[in-house]
Structure formats: structure tokens, C-alpha cells
Amino acid sequence: MDDQEVIREFLIESNENLARLDQEMVELEKRPKDPQLLASIFRTIHTIKGTCGFLGFASLEAVTHLSENILSQLRDGKREITPELVTLILETVDVVKTIMVGIEANGREGPEAYDELRERLKAASVAASADATGGAPGADAHATSSEADAPAAPKGPSVSDSTIRVDVVLLDKLMNLVGELVLARNQILQFNAHQEDSTLNATSQRLNLITTELQEGVMKTRMQPIGVVWNKLPRVVRDLATSFGKQIRLEMDGADTELDKTIIEAIKDPLTHIVRNCCDHGVEKPEVRIRNGKPAQGTLTLRAFHEGGQVNIEIADDGAGIDVQILKSKAVQLGLIRMEQAERMTDREASALVFLPGFSTAAKVTSVSGRGVGMDVVKTNIEKIGGVVDLVSRLGEGTTLKLKIPLTLAIIPGLVVTLRERRSAPRESEGGGVRYVIPQVSLLELIRLEGDTGKRQIERIHDTPFYRRRGSLLPLVYLADVLKVGRTDDSGVVNIVVLQAEDRQFGLVVDGISDTQEIVVKPLGKQLKSLNCYAGATIMGDGRVALILDVSGIAQLSGVARESRDKAGAEMQRRDHADSERQTFLLFRAGSFERLAVPLSLVARLEEISLSKIEHAGGKRVVQYRGRILQLASLAQLLEPDAVDNAAVQDPAQVVVFNNAERSIGIMVDQILDIVEDHVSIRQTAARQGLLGSAVIGKKVTDLLDLHAVIHAADDGWFASQEAQRASGATVMVAEPSPFVRGLVRTSLEMAGYRVIETDSTHGALQELERHKIDVVLAGLDLPPDNGCGLMQAMRRLPGVAQIPALALIDNAEQAKTCREHPQGFSDYQTKFDRDAMLQSLARLASALGAPEALVPAGGRG
Amino acid sequence: MNAPQPSNTVAAEGGRTNREYATFFVDGLFFGIDVLQVQEVLRYQEMTGVPLAPAVIEGLINLRGQIVTAIDMRRRLKLRARAEGETPMNAVVRTKEGAAVSLLVDEIGDVVEVDLETFEPAPDNVNPAARDLLQGVYKLKDRLLLVLDTEKTIDIAASAA
């Protein structure tokens, strides 16, 4: 019962105060004018009065209330202190003590009402107001002595006797000393491992045990039951339930689960916030609950228990649960994620969206929640103390939040890893390397790869190494690289420490893994505070200092997690913007062009074709390929007709195969370099035939191939073969200012069999619309002079043009939002680089026009 | 122990006419720190390097369970690097906030008592890296005693080393 807990606290506190009160009253007689003394006495009585009113101890309240009256008169200087008054008040104090002894023994007040004392107190205070010089209040002091004579005899020491208050600073100091002792113990144990002396062995064993016990004991002194935080929640829940018109029952289980004081303080606010959220968003109104076949009263369950050296706290409601679909669409609407991302998300991932900064699904902002700040802060705060938050929700059944929190922050288990020192170091420690400690909470698993086979398991995508861990790619980070100490690459073994940093996993490659130890976390000096890759330092068994790695800091520094959580909001949007232009490119080399790219989506496949298989037909190189004849063309030759053709010399030849509906063409390149996913930044339009322009892809300047021009040059028949059908194929106008984007879109469309007309402005678009019969318009939203919407408005006013469906080409999530909310006459929108989605959307629009046969592209794809 | 006064308002200190400084040598120069700010001096200690830390930070030492940052005074004062094989000594100073920082110096000298009369601000032609960290100079009989401002010396972040 938490009431019991409150009463216990009340008794402990009041007894201390009363003991002081005795002294102070005696002092008061000597220094009757001391205002501080009077104020202190008044405060003590006032506190007791206030608390017992709250706890419902009526006679205690009455007695203290009356003496408080007298004290306030004294304090305000309305009357002089007299020995009689002091006696009366001391007497009151005695009665208060008596009542409290009774409360401690029975949990409630005795039947005695102390009417006589009350009368005299009343008389004394009235006398004061009537006659300030004072009559003779409290005449029969002895008459009350019998009342104090019969306390309910307590058995054994009372609560107030068995506890003392200790300054937290002292506890912290003790904790530090114990930390020292733990280190000294570790040192001795290490030293002892090499000794044969049995007495020493036995003694150090004992030292070990005692230290461990002492450590636990001192840690316990700083422990508080989680109930300390929970106690105020019933009130919070009650108030919230009332204000929302809900019925919520709060159940608490494991309130006596203990946690370190610092942690208790750290979880206080997050916990309250979660509970508020549950009341606000979780539990439904009674009528809704009844309609859904649930009891009108919702239940909020708090559960706490120890598990594996951690404390688990679960907050569960039996409310509506989280509708992941609403969550996803809300997140898309807020521009936090893209639609494609949303579609790919599992329910669990989607649930985690509530932890994104700036996220709130509450339809309206209430005083409690819905302002979009909250769950991200909860997560941040819990993670700050090394905890983990997990959310499980079932639609219609409720939501459970699980917090896993370490017991203490001062002494933590850590994994000791080593890096071989490359610099010549005369003062090398016995392990042959520099040691670092990784907090165990971040540790997921250890992987050891041996020999060449092991090394081969590390793959590279561009410059980033990955390890294939049970089917998914784990990015690898070399600790030596992150810390810039120089990697030593001489052993055949790769040690990977798999770590969890916030919501990401990565593998930290170290030279050696030694063991796990209990380490004492010590802060770094302020000179080093700015280095966020260290969480602190510790002293190892041999007395040397080892740095403790901050796993999130390492992740950030290495680029595995690019942003800190605080900045995640802004960052998410920025990245999202970039994401929308993300595209996968195939990179290759041909002739003097060191780095060429085509969108991978246009590539049918990559082949290696042995030169011996290449035949000549009609003056062209061809190869028999999948039962057909595949024409080959050397890219180097196409781009630089005068240059020497290298591709023809290589065996086997590297061939990139492109398809349209009925024809294939193989473009021979010198070397396939890589496949890179990147967003296209810094573009420059090229003057050279066969190139669209240059862009930075994978951090290097790369020429983008104008596939349309290249294929055209290689095979006149390619587009000619489509000419016949083009008459019946749909004509698409691409209105887009960037020639680069236009080129890419045109290529995609033409390869899919559409006939394409290009223009770069609203004006141009309107002219083309007059000149040609256009079936579908694709317009970039950044179309000059007045963006794509301007074109739409103009189009919709023109007869004969007004009905043409239009597809908006967008760049980012913001534009997506604009399009969704204000379609402006656009029938649909797609990102510029999502070829497949664009073609699908286009096909849909074309067929919706009512003449499907005529409008479906000649190639018949999509 | 009362808080030491790192201030350079020596003249304002009525009553006292002399002061004690713990001294040490760095690259032949003779430095002093108010003796009240020096916690202890130690011979060379095992050190753990801190990758990514500013270059002036040599590493961390274990001072009876306390982790102390060690600053190489040669680098801090932009002087020549210590010759191979020479090991520095630790002058552990206590900061205003009560943290300990070790200054790595070539050699520890005696505690000297100086006459406040012989104090002068650092001359302009002293190497600027050093002058910023100096409170001033005492003209001793046979040499100059350069008085370091401890707080400035250990304030690495501000000097963006």
C-alpha cells in the first residue's frame, strides 16, 4: 500500500522535526524575540498540520491547528512569549508525539480527542486576541499529564528510531571510495593471479568478497523504491481521467523495486509523461470502450521488476492501441518520412515513429499532450541514462511501453577491447595494445573472422565495409580509423564488436577483445569534454587509465549515425529532401571517361561476354544472346569515334544490356566500377554529345550518360522500330527546367515507348500544347516563371487542353505535401527519379483517358 | 586551505611583500606557479594517450584513483619538442573548480620566494604563445622567473589548440 509508505515517511519526518521543536521551544524561552526561531517552530507545526489534514488524521490536525494559531500570533509579534505558553506548546508537542506513536502502531489515530487540551489552546489563543498583555492561559498544565501517559506501547524500535537521514553528498563520497576499493581489489586480484602464496590467496579472496558485498551495500544506500516516483501518479491519473471524462484505474505492481537515486530522478519526468500520454491518447472514453465491448473503466498498469542487472518498467494501457496506418500517413504528412518508406515499414518500425521529434497524432492539442513534444524527449532522457525504450501496440487492445534501465550509473559492466599501438611505444602494457572499454549495455554480440575466408566476408560498397550478418548488412567501423590512430593490418583475425547505437547497429572492428569487467566510470577533465567519442575513463586492474567509449559518439563520428538525436528533426527533413532525389547508379569506365553513370533502373542486366563469341553481322558486332541476336556497341567508340577502342581488346568484354520491348542492345564498357545509391548534387550540363552532364555521385564527379543519344548512335533501328507504332503511342510532354532531369525522364519514357516532347518553361509548354496533340503532361513544380501550378491554371483555361491529365514531378517531401493538399489540377505526383512509379502513374493516367488502346505506349510496358 | 589567488594584481595585495612560487624548467625557460596552486609534483607517470584530443594533451594519468589530464607544456608554449628518451615530470595543479591537471615539464625546480617589488608585466618581445599565458616576470638576481597564469594554461578549449 502506498498510503502506508506515505505515513511512514510522514512519521519519520515529523519525529525529526518534533525532536528539534523541543529544543527550539527551550531556546525560545531564552531568546523570546528571535524571529528565525519562531518562524522555524511555526513551520514545523504547520507542516505537520498540513500533512495530517491530507492523511485524514482529524484530532492531530485539530491540535496542531490550534497551537499553530498561537504560534502565528507569537510570530507576528501580537503577543509576548510566556513560560506558560511554552509549557502549553510543549504539552501539545507531547500529545502530537503520543498520537503519532499510536498511528505508527495501528496505522490510524486513537479514539482520544484531547478535548481538554484543545479547550485550553483555544482559550489561550482567544485570550491573546482579546487581551494582548495576556491573562493566565494554560493554567492547569498538570491536568493533561494523564493523556500523555498511555501511548500504545510499541514493540521493538520504532520506524523513526531505525532510520537516520544521511546527506546524499556523503553517500556519493562513500560510493566513490567504494569505487576506489573496487579498483584496488581488481589490482590485487590481478597481481595475485601470479602468486603462489596461499595466505595471500585466501586473504585476497576474502577481500574480494567483502568488497563486492560492500559495493552492493553502499549501492543499496543510494537505492530508492520506484514507488517514490509512482506515488504521485494516482493523483495525476485521477485528475487527467476527470478532465477527459474517462474512467481509468491505475494498477501498480513492483513499487518496491529499487533503483539508484540518480536514476530515480532521471526517470521521474519521462515516466509522468508516458502516463499522461496513456491517459490522453491510450485509454478511450467510456462510451467508446463500451461500444468496443470493453469495460467502461480503462486500466493502466505499471509494472517494475529486476531482470539481468537491469530494471524493467512497463507501462501498459488497455486502450485503443496505435493505428500504424494513421501513424504512417501522419508522419508522411509531417514530412518526417517518405511515402515509399512508409509502405516498406513493419508495424513495429511504424510504432517507433512516435519517438520522432515533432511527432504527435493527437487530433487536437490538449493541455496534456498533442503539442508534438514528448515521446522523443522521453526516449532521449531514457537513453541518456543508458536505458532503452520499446513500444508494442496492438490496435484495439492497448499499448505497452517497456523501459529497460540500468540499476546504477557509477559502476557498470564493460567489455575491454584493445588496439595495437602503431606508434613506437616503449611503455606498452602487457596485453600488447591500448585498452578501451565499451559499456556492456550497447553490446549485442562478438564476431570473430579468421584467415582469408574471414576477410573475404567483409564486402565493400563503395568505400564502406560491410559484413553480412545473418542476411543483413552490418556497416563496419574500424576503431583505429575513427580515433585516427592508424590501423595495423598484420593479423589474419578480424574482431567485430556488434553495437547498438540509438536505433542503429554497427560493427566496431578492434584488434583484440579481452574480457568484461566491472568498471568505475570517472569523468574526464573539462579539457576533454568536447570529445564526444568518450563517455569517461576508468582505471584498470594494473592501475593504468583506459578510456570508455561513447558508442553513440563513435557512431556519429564514423558516420554510421550522422546526426545526434537532438538534431534529428531538422536532419530527418533535410535527409528526406535529399532522399527523394536518391537514385541508384551504375558506374563504369569507358575510353578516356573514368567515371560514367546511368541510372540502374534503365539497365536490363550486366553481362560478361567472351570475345570469341562475338560475331560480325552487317558491319556490326553482335552476339547470340538468349536465343536472339544482341547488337553490341563500344561505348568508348561511340563517345570518342577517333579514339582507339579498348573494349574490343578486353576479354571477356563487359557489357551493359539495355532493353526496350522488343530490342536489346549491349553497350561494351571498359570496366564496371560500382553501384552507388546517392542523390544527385551539383549538376552541370554537358556540351558533349552523348552525355547529359556531370554530377557528384558517390563523392566524385561523374559524367551521366545520355542513353538516348548513345543508343540512337549505336542503333538507328532502335527508335526507328518504334516510329511505326509511335503514331498509336501516347505523346507525353515533359515540362521541366533542368535539362538534366529532362534528359533522364525523356530516356526513361522513350525506352518505355512513349513519344516525348520537351520544354523548359510554362510558356514553352503552352506553345507545344497548341502545336501538338499531347496525351499527358509531366511538369516539374519548379517550372519558370510561376511553377508547375501556373502551367496547370493556364492549361485548365484552354479549351481542348483542359482535359489533359497532368503528372507533377516533385523533388521533395514538402512538394509532395503541397501536391497532396493543393492538387492544383494535377492528377498525380511522382518524384523525378522514381522511374517505375512514374511509368506506372503515367500508364494509369493514359489509360484513364478513355481510349486505352490508343494511349497505352507502343512498347506495352507498365 | 583558502583559495589561492591567481590574480596578477600583485601590487594590490597589501601587507605581503613577497610571495612563494613553485618553479620548473621548460626548454631552458624558468617558470613559476603560485605555490598554493600546486598540489604536488611527481616524477614521470604511466600515461594513456587520448586519440583525437588536442595535441597539447599528452594523456591521462592515474593519480591515486583520480583521472588527471596531463598537458605537455612544451607544446602548450609552442616550444621545441622534448628530445627522444627524455621523460617529463608532473606538476599537478589544482584549478578553481577543484579539478587536478598535470603540467608536464622538463624538470622541477625549488620553491622560490620573490620580492613583489621585482615584478614586471611580460615584455612584448616574449613569444606570443607564451606571453598569453604569463602573468608577468620577476627579475631574480641571476635569471628571470616567468609566472604562469594557471587557469589560462589549462584552458585548452579556449585556446583552440
Q: What is the mean pLDDT of chain A?
A: 75
Closest by alpha carbon to B20, among B145, B153, B154? Answer: B145
pLDDT above 90 (res A644) = no
**Residue A137: pLDDT over 80:** no
Among A206-210, A502-506, A789-793, A822-826, the range scoring the smallest mean pLDDT is A822-826
B56 found inside a domain? yes
Q: How confident is the model at residue B67 (pLDDT cuts 50, 70, 90)?
A: confident
Give the β-pairing of A681-685 and A310-317.
Answer: unpaired
Residue A229 pLDDT level (bands cut at 50, 70, 90):
confident
CB-CB neighbors (< 8 A) of B46 in chain A: 427, 543-544
In terms of average pLDDT, the best of A108-122, A155-169, A686-700 is A108-122
* Cell digits of residue B111: 620553491
Residue of A nearest to B153 (CA): A527
Mapping DSSP to helix (H, G, I), strand (E, B) and coil, where does residue A488 land?
A: coil
Residue in A230, A237, A257, A378 with CA at minimum distance from that of residue A319: A237
* pLDDT given for residue B7 in this prediction: 45
Helices marked H in A584-732 — which ranges?
Answer: 635-639, 707-714, 716-726
Residues A260 and A360 in one domain: yes
pLDDT top residue among A151 and A387? A387
Share of chain A above pLDDT 70, in %: 79
User: Considering only A355-364, A607-616, B35-44, B73-82, which range has the smallest mean pLDDT?
Assistant: A355-364
For residue A419, being part of any structural domain is answered with: no
Chain A positions touching B47 (Cβ under 8 A) are 427, 545
Q: How far is CA A735 from the centre of its chain?
A: 41
Same domain, A523 and A594: no
Query: Is the Cβ–Cβ distance between A716 and A832 less than 8 Å?
Result: no
Best mutation target, B43, B45, B46, B52, to test chain A (most A CBs within 10 A): B52
- Give the pLDDT score at A99: 82
Percent of chain A with pLDDT over 90: 3
Predicted local confidence at residue B1, as pLDDT = 40
Residue written as grid cell 567483502: A210
Q: Of the candidates A130, A147, A162, which is a domain's last residue?
A: A162
Residue A627 pLDDT greater than 80, yes or no: no
In a domain, B161, yes or no: no
For residues A565 and A512, the model is more confident at: A512
Q: What is the pLDDT of residue A683?
A: 60
What is the arithmetic mean of pLDDT over B58-79? 88
Query: What are the b/e assignments for A732-764, b being 16+ CB within 10 Å?
Result: bbbbbbbbbbbbbbbbbbbbbbbbbbbbbbbeb
Name residue, grid cell 572492428: A509
Residue A695 sits in the same domain as residue A834: no
CA A609/CA A576 separation, integer angstroms: 40
Task: Indicate if A209 and A252 belong to the same structural domain.
Answer: no
Tell me whether residue A479 is in a domain. Answer: yes
Question: A292-296, B42-46, B128-132, B142-146: which range is least confident on average?
Answer: B128-132
CATH code of A806's domain: 3.40.50.2300
The Cα A653–Cα A641 span in angstroms is 19
pLDDT in the model for residue A646:
54
Residue A422 lies inside a defined structural domain of this protein? no
Same domain for A741 and A828: yes
Across A72-76, A211-215, A243-247, A844-848, least confident range: A844-848
Residues A737 and A791 in one domain: yes
Per-residue model confidence as pLDDT tens digits over A733-770? 888 877 767 777 877 777 777 788 888 888 888 888 88
Whether the predicted pLDDT of A835 surpasses 80: no
Helix (H/G/I), strand (E/B), else coil: A475: strand
Q: Are residues A274 and A208 in the same domain?
A: no
Tell me how close the Cα of B99 comes to any Cα of chain A, in angstroms.
7
- Would you state the pLDDT for residue A632? 84
Question: What is the Cα Rg of chain A in Å?
Answer: 39
Residue B74 included in any domain: yes
Q: Is A527 in contact with B47 (Cβ distance < 8 A)?
A: no
The residue from A162, A181, A206 where one domain ends is: A162
Taking the CA of residue A692 as centre, how many other CA atoms within 13 Å lie in the half-sphere pointing to its CB? 23
Residues A233 and A357 in one domain: yes
B4 located within any domain: no
For the cut 90, the answer to whether the pLDDT of residue B33 exceeds it is yes
Does the beta-carbon distance from A525 to B68 stay under 8 Å?
yes
Mean pLDDT of chain B: 82
Question: Is the predicted pLDDT of residue B116 greater than 80, yes or no?
Answer: yes
Q: Which of A108-122, A414-428, B23-37 has the lowest mean pLDDT?
A: A414-428
Show residues of chain A in contact with B54, CB under 8 Å: 527
Distance from CA of A549 to the nearest CA of B (A): 11
Q: Which of A489, A450, A491, A494 is nearest to A474 (CA)?
A: A494
Tens of pLDDT, residue by residue over A422-440, are 654 444 444 468 899 998 8
pLDDT higher than 60, residue B102: yes
Gap from A612 CA to chain B (nearest CA, Å): 56
Which has more confidence, A200 or A336? A200
CB contact under 8 A, A544 and B68: no
The pLDDT, as a whole number, for residue A684 is 63
A-B C-beta contacts closer than 8 Å? 68
Chain B residues with CB inside 8 Å of A545's CB? Answer: 47-48, 59-62, 67
State residue A489's pLDDT score: 65
What average pLDDT does this structure show over A390-409?
82
Q: Give CA separation, A198 vs A112, A191, A203, A209, A547, in Å.
A: 68, 13, 8, 17, 34
We report the CATH number of the domain holding residue B124 as 2.40.50.180
Cell of A561: 549515425
Chain A hits for B53, CB-CB cut-off 8 Å, are: 527-528, 531
Mean pLDDT of B61-72: 87
Sign of CA dihedral A509, A513, A515, A520: negative
The range of the structural domain enclosing residue A137 comes to: 2-162
Instruction: Tell me, yes or no, whether A185 and A152 share the same domain.
Output: no
* Residue type (1 letter), A729: G
Model ipTM value? 0.85
Same domain, A593 and A514: no
Indicate whether A580 pLDDT > 50: no
pLDDT above 70: residue A858? no
Pick the range with the lowest mean pLDDT from A96-105, A461-470, A678-687. Answer: A678-687
Judge whether residue A859 has pLDDT over 50.
Answer: no
Per-position DSSP letters for B107-136, written without gaps between them: EEEEEEEEEGGGEEPPPTTS-HHHHTTEEE
3 state SS of A70:
helix
- A575 in a structural domain: no
> Is residue B29 domain-resident?
yes
Structural domain ending residue among the three candidates A221, A239, A258: A221
Strand (E) or helix (H) holding A313: strand A310-317
d(CA A392, CA A348): 7
- What residues of A are in the B interface, CB distance below 8 Å? 179-180, 183, 427, 434, 483-485, 522-531, 533-534, 537, 539, 543-547
Contact B67, B60 (CB under 8 A): yes
Closest chain A residue by Cα to residue B102:
A525
At A626, list the grid cell.
538468349
- CATH number for A658: 2.40.50.180
Q: Indicate if A347 and A474 belong to the same structural domain.
A: no
Interface of B with A (CB under 8 A): 46-54, 57, 59-62, 65-69, 71, 97, 99, 101, 154, 156-157
pTM score of the predicted model: 0.45
Rounded CA separation A464/A674 (Å): 12
Task: Please report how the helices A787-797 and A762-771 are oriented relative to each other, as an axis angle in degrees rounded to 10.
Answer: 30
In a domain, B76, yes or no: yes
Q: Which residue has the higher pLDDT, A563 or A705?
A: A705
Phi, psi of A206 (to 5 degrees): -65, -45
**Residue B128, C-beta contacts closer than 8 angstroms, at least 6 positions apart:** none
Q: Are A512 and A493 in contact (CB under 8 A)?
A: no
**What would the pLDDT profile of A172-197 be if each residue is shown by its tens digit?**
788 778 877 887 887 788 788 777 88
Residue in A closest to B100 by C-alpha: A525
Out of A484, A524, A545, the one facing B62 most closely (by C-beta) is A545
Distance from CA of A527 to the nearest CA of B (A): 6
A601: left (phi over 0), alpha (psi -120 to 50) or beta: alpha
A132 pLDDT more than 50: no
A578 or A14: which leads in pLDDT:
A14
pLDDT band at A720 (very low <50, low <70, confident <90, very high): low
CA A253 to chain centre: 27
Q: Does the CA dihedral A602-A605-A606-A611 come out positive or negative?
A: negative
Nearest chain B residue to A177, by CA: B65
**Residue A158 pLDDT grade (very low, low, confident, very high; cuts 50, 70, 90):** low
What does the pLDDT read at residue B108? 92
Distance CA B109, CA A386 (A): 47
Q: Where are the beta strands (DSSP E) in A737-775?
A: 755-759
Give residue A814's pLDDT band: very low, low, confident or very high (50, 70, 90).
low
- Asked if residue B6 is part of any domain, the answer here is no
In-domain check, residue B13: no
Question: Per the structure, how many domains does chain A have?
Answer: 6
Give the residue-averaged pLDDT of A82-106. Answer: 80
| pLDDT band, very low/low/confident/very high, at A571 (cuts 50, 70, 90) | very low
Residue in chain B closest to A521 (alpha carbons) equals B67
Rounded-to-integer distance, Cα B122 and Cα B138, Å: 9
Is-contact A7 A107, C-beta < 8 A? yes
Q: What is the pLDDT of residue A548?
A: 92
**Residue B84 DSSP SS3:** coil
Residues in chain B closer than 8 A to A427 (CB atoms) = 46-47
Q: Between A261-277 and A375-384, two packed helices, what is the crossing angle to 10 degrees?
A: 160
Residues A552-561 have a mean pLDDT of 80
One-letter amino acid identity for A40?
Answer: S
Helix H or strand E segment including A414 = strand A411-419
3-state secondary structure (DSSP) of residue A352: helix
Whether residue A207 has pLDDT greater than 70: yes
pLDDT grade, residue A220 (50/70/90)?
A: confident
How many domains does chain B contain in total? Answer: 1
Q: pLDDT (tens digit, 9 = 90+) per residue, A438-497? A: 988 888 899 888 877 777 778 877 777 888 877 778 889 989 888 888 777 666 788 899
Note if the bond before A234 is cis, omega within 30 degrees: no
CB contact under 8 A, A528 and B69: yes
Higher-scoring residue by pLDDT: A5, A74: A74
Predicted local distance difference test score (pLDDT) of residue B158? 47
> What's the rounded Cα separation, in Å, for the pair A578 and A334?
16
pLDDT band at A852 (very low <50, low <70, confident <90, very high): very low
Question: Could you tell me the pLDDT band of residue A508, with boundaries at 50, 70 and 90?
Answer: very high
Q: What angle do CA A650, A653, A656 make, to 5 degrees?
A: 140
Tens-digit pLDDT profile for residues A9-64: 777 777 777 777 777 777 777 777 777 787 788 777 877 777 777 777 777 888 88
Same domain, residue pair A179 and A291: no
Q: Is the pLDDT of residue B155 over 80?
A: yes
Confidence band (pLDDT; 50, 70, 90) for A717? Answer: low
> What pLDDT score was predicted for residue A680?
64
Distance, CA of A402 to CA of A560 (rounded, Å): 26
- How high is the pLDDT of residue B31? 93
CATH number of the domain that residue A144 is part of? 1.20.120.160
CB B48 to CB A526 under 8 A?
no
Judge whether residue A521 has pLDDT over 60. Answer: yes
| Structural domain that includes position B73 | 20-156
